Structure 1
Amino acid sequence: MGAVPDEIRVLLDNKYVFASFWNHQNGFPGFDDRQDRLTRSKQKIAAALTRHDTSAILAVVFDRLYVLRNLLVHGGVTWNSSVNRQQVHDGAAVLSWLLPVFIDLLMDNPDHDWGTPYYPVVERNDRFDLR
């Protein structure tokens, strides 16, 4: 992976895209140590960087992006609001860096079996009849 782009570093340091932060905010027991968990996560990321363990780094990045996705879909970020806007900006920056890599991988490997799409295009007559 080489040097980690600043966009990824910023996202990984942001407590608002860390699941344990929201588990504590929502009153789930066992998450009073959310700051310690974030610190340990940062230590694991640093160790993964030292080992050049791209898979471990990407697993954490995708976890943070999933929390950001949840903020967007479930109302933690709303249109024209300043709340959580920095996370959206950081996530968009990360995706703008990663998506071209993903597209290159797909284009360079057209014969690879990527599996069946979970949400394939369906014909209009396959929709539920809600009459």
Structure 2
Amino acid sequence: MSTLPDFAALKTKQRALREGFHENLSLRVHRALSWLDRAEKCANDDDARFIFLWIAFNAVYSEECGETMPNAARGLFESYFGKVVRLDTERRIYDAIWARFPGPIRMLLENKYVYQPFWSHHNQLPGFGDWEERFAAAKRKLSQALVRQDTSVVLSTLFDRLYVLRNQLVHGGATWNSGINRAQVRDGAAILAFLIPLFVDLMMDNPGTTWGKAHYPVVD
């Protein structure tokens, strides 16, 4: 089982390799590492740790795609996950999903409270009366992906759920340190704490890959 790279190890690697990075990769890694460092200082605060880790994730995956594009985040998720899974020749992401966190991941994916159509129906938005059928279909699709060991589909589905959790925290839809959603916040933070350093490590190992223009580049 592979060892999880921490901030210190990743920062040392970045300093050794950054001269060979394209400016887009260099900026993404630099920003992501700064937030990973901050997240590691929140060992006893799962809410803060989750938020800082999500910012690190934003730094590595997000691209400027225009304000009018619908579902842009989902499309970028799928593109990014397809890319990192192809580059993961040692199957470290696979190891994270099937060896380290199978229980927490399954519990999160089967939790209706991090499934957006459930909340859309609860908030009486039109078109979501069939959320239970959609949820069942999503679970069937996930089960098929698990049988096929399709890591990209599992990651996309997992981060759909984590995105709902992110929205609950960032948009004031949860109470800090609340006991109501404690399990999903704790598990979500633990999953991100394993996956985001792996993503950063894989990106540094593949500087020739096109990672896209980062949001808000440094401007003189």
Give the TM bin, normalised by the shorter chain: 0.7 to 0.9
Corresponding position: 1:42 with 2:139: yes
**TM-score, normalised via structure 1 length:** 0.82
**Partner in structure 2 of residue 100 of structure 1:** 197
The alpha-carbon deviation at position 69 of structure 1 amounts to 0.9
> Structure 1 pair 13/26, CA: closer, same or farther in 2 (3 Å)?
same
Q: Structure 2: how far apart are the matches of 1:73 and 1:119?
A: 20
Identical counterparts, % of pairs:
56
Aligned length: 123
Runs of 4+ in 1 over 4 A off after TM superposition: none
**Partner in structure 2 of residue 52 of structure 1:** 149
Higher helix share: 2
Q: CA-atom RMSD, angstroms?
A: 1.8
Worse-superposed segment, 53-62 or 79-88: 79-88
Corresponding position: 1:68 with 2:175: no
**Partner in structure 2 of residue 16 of structure 1:** 113
Q: Structure 2: how far apart are the matches of 1:94 and 1:11?
A: 10
Q: Structure 2: how far apart are the matches of 1:15 and 1:89?
A: 16
**Partner in structure 1 of residue 58 of structure 2:** none
Structure 2: state its 5+ residue gaps.
1-93
Q: Answer yes or no: is the 8 Å Cα contact 1:16–1:87 preserved in 2.
A: no
- 2:139 aligned counterpart, secondary structure: helix
Corresponding position: 1:120 with 2:217: yes
Q: Structure 1: how far apart are the matches of 2:193 and 2:170?
A: 19
**Partner in structure 2 of residue 129 of structure 1:** none
**TM-score, normalised via structure 2 length:** 0.51
